[in-house]
Structure 1
Amino acid sequence: MSIVHPITSRQPHPDFLTHPAAIAWRRLRPGSDWPIAISILKQRCKSAIYKMDGAAPDGSAVVAKLVEGEPYSRFREDHSVLAGKWLGLLHSLGSRVVAASQLPHRGPVHYLAHLRAARQRLRTDLKVLDLPPGQSAVFAAVIAQCNLLESHWSQLEKWDALLPSTFIHADFKPKNAVIRAGPDGPAFFSYDWELSGWGNPAIDIAHVNLSAYRSAAEEFGPHLDPDALQLTALLGRIYLRLAAFAWESHKMDPRWELSTEHLSIYQEEMAAAIAAAPWERKTNGHGTVASLQVPDEAPRKGIPGANSVANLMIKTLEVALSRSRGRKVRIQKLRRQACIATESFQSERLRASLNSGEVLPIFLKDLNPAHQTEAARKVREFDLAQSYRELHVYQGILSRIQLGTPELYAVRWEPERGIFWLFLEDTGNSRLRECRNFAKWALAARWAARFHFAIQALPASQTAFLPKYDRAHYQEVANQIEQTLPTLQSADSRVVAQALDHFTGQIDWLSALPRDLIHGQYFGRNIMLRPRNKERPIAVIDWETAAFGPGTFDLVSLASGNWTDGQKQTLYRAYFEECKTKTGFHGNWNEFCTELREIELYQALQWIAWWRNRSLSFNFGKWIRELSRIMRSHPAMSLRS
């Protein structure tokens, strides 16, 4: 007699109902528990790796992208045979799945778009960049190949029609597959399906054993002509290289040397595929496919006297500025000055003298964790999470809105060399925290309201990498405070314990608040005042703590400190009225003030957990005083003597 144990599942957090990692896990393991927390382990250009706490059957964590096995090699015959059999089954059975036909089409139109996009970007680069002759030759050769293929595109369309469309992986490469040992021998496993679609199987079978593919495919499908299969695989190699051209030309900035090396390899592989293809003779009298000739270019002389670091900075800026301005930009002189007043990462002020006569002020921020200031090392984690976050905020979010944040001129990001450089617009030395003109502070409150509203127009895919102020986040702050309590002086401990008791009772309420993209440390020190600029008077800097949380968090950050109650109310009103005027906000003022009080208390506790005790920094005492003030004025609690 078998006993069936019912599966019980906890109620999911609302955020996880739409989280891609949680959805994929529940589809893979129906009936599994929802995770209690989801965090990003690694953010990549095209994907992310997530950790889902509490999702496994035993309550342990699940990593959303964990693949074990022997790396797949297309050069090993046994691996190629396994891949061929696996793809044969996938394609023959996938053609019967009706839903698969609704996936994105990966046919000639798709790859012609890749061809044209790559060619356009490379043409622009050749026009505006001052490249060494070797790199220029690679660009020109790829452009010539694109021209040639487009002129013969009708032939590629005929080859694409040789096999029927089916469900395809479309990103079938060695890094996306492994070989595992099983009870019946080695087995093939593939992953990374985000590019999968509906189309000719050419791109999947470009580098597999075709005999193995044919035998497996014919077991469930029609007879396949060997010659048609060979031509389809050749077409797949052309499609693969066109996709690679598009991808490398897209990510050329800032790693143009590495991308050029990749392009050189892909160009040679494309040349081999073009040479092997049975092209039809052109009817216009020009004959068959000709060999590709590429123009030469005079070498560029190095910058006299420039050291290696400065020279790398110059090269990075010249490429990026040439692209953004649509013309060749040369830096004739670069002056460097270290910033002494920085509070987190080491930085420099640069003055770039351009060939146009313009002197461009640039702020270089070095996001290498090893280059943090001594004060920052006491409290910051030694990892790249916040560095990556700031990079993605500037590239994917701030660059898409026009609210006066510093312009991102260039990026140099080479983890293997310890280079994590952001080249930003230098907005000057005037910080809001030193400004006694209260109208400027009210202006910053209104700016925050516009910023929170503007971000709502961005698609969720562009902001998915940001952490959320959800229940797990607030609970973690409470846990940190609990661990800190035994180490505090008795007077501090009493204040913090009372505040913590109130805060833990508000966690569910806080978790349910609407979330906006917030700066996370919207203090006067992170708000620069541009001199003589009425259109863009303020510039908000240091975005490594950006997150999704209540917009009021930024407002209470701005209003924290030695303000009178009347001044705080003025800042609150400025934000509130801007929301109503610019965004159509219809909130209630009293409810708004209630939210501000709770966020104020939470923020003070968060900073107390950050600074930990008085011996670490004077900032701890500042936040104890701020917490005491908040508690004295809070209607739901009073500081007990």
Structure 2
Amino acid sequence: MTRPALNQDRDDLLFERVAQIVADTFGRRSTIAAIYRKRSEYSSFYASEILSVQLDTGDELKMFLKNFGSYPDPKDAMEQRRNRELHVYRDILARASLGTAKYYGSVWDEPEGPFWLLLELVRGIAVRHCSFDYWVEAARWLGHMQGYFYQNSGLLQGHEFLIQHDGPFFRSARERAFRAVSQRSPDLGKRLAAALSPYDQSVELMMRQPKTLVHGAYRPAEILVDASERPARICPVDWEQAAIGSGFYDLAFLADGFKSPQLEQILDAYCTEAANCGLQVPDQGSAKHIVNCYRLHKTVTWLSQSFDRKFPEKDVMKLVSMAEKLAGLVLSNRTACVP
């Protein structure tokens, strides 16, 4: 038996874990002939690899390895982020049949690492590169997933690693945004403070929504589509910011930038599927208003990071202007979207 791509020490831990996965998947008599590793083209902030496990039977198992110990610069709360994603895949998604990547296992050694998450290799492309029909399917999948966890809320109980989308979560973002913008420009800080007068009103509305599992960053870049399956498989990745809150938090990411009639198609796909799965949803006009509340919060969150991440001043000014427009919609209870 050869292991051409593996070294000693930490990689021995990986080999032992892969051997257990092979035994669980193919049976105890299966023997690993070779393991090959190559960097994944989907590596982003964290390094990731494709593992090709060849067996003496001729079978092959491919896995996606996400390496939480390899990154260019540290993020905030990195330990919580990596542990959250591990627990979501292992303890929550593995108990539901929703088309998410299968959890195979992990190599996890606190506090120094390694921190390797081993998942099914999903063949797909990001929905941002797909036609609009697949965006609608991504909205429908989201409604199905969140309806499922609303009806099976017991699967979310006892998981303290999930972020709570509560009052302190939303209001602290406003406070951080005001400090960050004021450090850059006191005048912009005053504009932002005036714009956010209806923010408490939006927080109350967001907190009144039914609670379910939230992906936390349901961006088009984080949603894979495998169009070779029928129906197409929708597979969100990167669950580091998973939370308990309203499904409209995720929908605001997906629907951002769309106008009529495409916006209505996305909202309708989500709301119809969520309602079919038992999640209480509002009428379309109210849904637009709620999505605008979450868009306002998302803009506030970006502003809260603007000083530490050294956003260019023109970008900060653009975000403050967007916050002003969205706050105006929230205040007037209008349902149109900001251009």
Q: Deviations over 1:410-464 (max 9, x none)?
A: 21111155111101112135111222x1000000001011111112314243534
Equivalences for 1:321-470 in 2 at 5 Å?
321-339=22-40, 341-368=42-69, 371-374=70-73, 377=74, 380-381=75-76, 383-428=78-123, 430-435=125-130, 437-456=131-150, 457-459=152-154, 460-470=156-166
Q: Partners in 2 of 1:474 and 1:372 — Cα distance?
A: 28
Q: Partners in 2 of 1:626 and 1:356 — Cα distance?
A: 59
Q: Deviations over 1:340-398 (max 9, x none)?
A: 65333221122222333233221111123xx2233xx3xx2254111111111011100
- Cα contact 1:403–1:536 (8 A) shared by 2: no
SS at match of 2:157: helix
User: Partner letter of residue 472 of structure 1?
Assistant: P
Report the CA distance between 1:399 and its aligned residue.
0.1
Indicate how the Cα distance of structure 1 residues 559 and 587 shifts in structure 2: closer, same or farther if over 3 A, else same. closer
What's 1:615 paired with?
310
Structure of greater Rg: 1
Q: Partners in 2 of 1:625 and 1:337 — Cα distance?
A: 44
Indicate how the Cα distance of structure 1 residues 586 and 541 shifts in structure 2: closer, same or farther if over 3 A, else same. closer
- Cα contact 2:37–2:50 (8 A) shared by 1: yes
Report the CA distance between 1:559 and its aligned residue.
1.1
Report the CA distance between 1:310 and its aligned residue.
4.1
- Cα contact 2:3–2:35 (8 A) shared by 1: no
Q: Extract unaligned runs of 5+ from structure 2.
A: 335-339
What's 1:501 paired with?
197
Indicate how the Cα distance of structure 1 residues 628 and 574 shifts in structure 2: closer, same or farther if over 3 A, else same. farther
Q: Partners in 2 of 1:302 and 1:504 — Cα distance?
A: 62
Q: Deviations over 1:106-155 (max 9, x none)?
A: xxxxxxxxxxxxxxxxxxxxxxxxxxxxxxxxxxxxxxxxxxxxxxxxxx
Indicate how the Cα distance of structure 1 residues 623 and 338 shifts in structure 2: closer, same or farther if over 3 A, else same. farther
- Is 1:488 equivalent to 2:184 in the alignment? yes
What's 1:541 paired with?
237
Report the CA distance between 1:501 and its aligned residue.
2.2
Report the CA distance between 1:499 and its aligned residue.
3.4
Equivalences for 1:569-608 in 2 at 5 Å?
569-583=264-278, 585=280, 587-608=282-303
Report the CA distance between 1:534 and its aligned residue.
1.8
Give the share of equivalent positions with the same residue, in percent. Answer: 23
What's 1:307 paired with?
7
Q: Partners in 2 of 1:492 and 1:337 — Cα distance?
A: 47
Report the CA distance between 1:508 and its aligned residue.
3.4
SS at match of 1:313: helix
Q: Deviations over 1:232-282 (max 9, x none)?
A: xxxxxxxxxxxxxxxxxxxxxxxxxxxxxxxxxxxxxxxxxxxxxxxxxxx
- Cα contact 2:163–2:241 (8 A) shared by 1: no
Q: Partners in 2 of 1:586 and 1:306 — Cα distance?
A: 51
Q: Partners in 1 of 2:57 and 2:126 — Cα distance?
A: 31
Q: Partners in 2 of 1:321 and 1:499 — Cα distance?
A: 57
User: Partner letter of residue 426 of structure 1?
Assistant: L
User: Partner letter of residue 478 of structure 1?
Assistant: R
Q: TM-score when scaled to structure 1?
A: 0.47
Report the CA distance between 1:621 and its aligned residue.
6.9
Equivalences for 1:18-167 in 2 at 5 Å?
none
Report the CA distance between 1:323 and its aligned residue.
2.1
Indicate how the Cα distance of structure 1 residues 516 and 304 shifts in structure 2: closer, same or farther if over 3 A, else same. closer
Equivalences for 1:122-271 in 2 at 5 Å?
none
- Cα contact 1:428–1:530 (8 A) shared by 2: yes
Q: TM-score when scaled to structure 2?
A: 0.85
- Is 1:557 equivalent to 2:258 in the alignment? no
What's 1:532 paired with?
228
SS at match of 1:463: coil
Indicate how the Cα distance of structure 1 residues 441 and 421 shifts in structure 2: closer, same or farther if over 3 A, else same. same
- Cα contact 2:153–2:212 (8 A) shared by 1: no
- Cα contact 1:321–1:410 (8 A) shared by 2: no
User: Partner letter of residue 394 of structure 1?
Assistant: Y
Indicate how the Cα distance of structure 1 residues 383 and 526 shifts in structure 2: closer, same or farther if over 3 A, else same. closer
SS at match of 2:268: helix
Q: Partners in 2 of 1:470 and 1:489 — Cα distance?
A: 29
Q: Partners in 1 of 2:142 and 2:6 — Cα distance?
A: 42
Q: Which moved more, 1:489-498 or 1:321-330?
A: 489-498
Report the CA distance between 1:605 and its aligned residue.
0.9
User: Partner letter of residue 307 of structure 1?
Assistant: N
Q: Partners in 1 of 2:5 and 2:233 — Cα distance?
A: 38
User: Partner letter of residue 521 of structure 1?
Assistant: A
SS at match of 2:196: helix
- Cα contact 1:450–1:578 (8 A) shared by 2: yes
Q: Extract unaligned runs of 5+ from structure 1.
A: 1-300
- Cα contact 1:404–1:536 (8 A) shared by 2: no
Report the CA distance between 1:604 and its aligned residue.
1.5
Report the CA distance between 1:302 and its aligned residue.
7.0
- Cα contact 2:102–2:119 (8 A) shared by 1: yes
Q: Partners in 2 of 1:622 and 1:331 — Cα distance?
A: 55
Larger relative contact order (CA 8 Å, sep ≥ 6) = 2
SS at match of 2:63: strand
Report the CA distance between 1:531 and its aligned residue.
4.3
- Cα contact 1:499–1:601 (8 A) shared by 2: no
Q: Partners in 1 of 2:38 and 2:272 — Cα distance?
A: 42
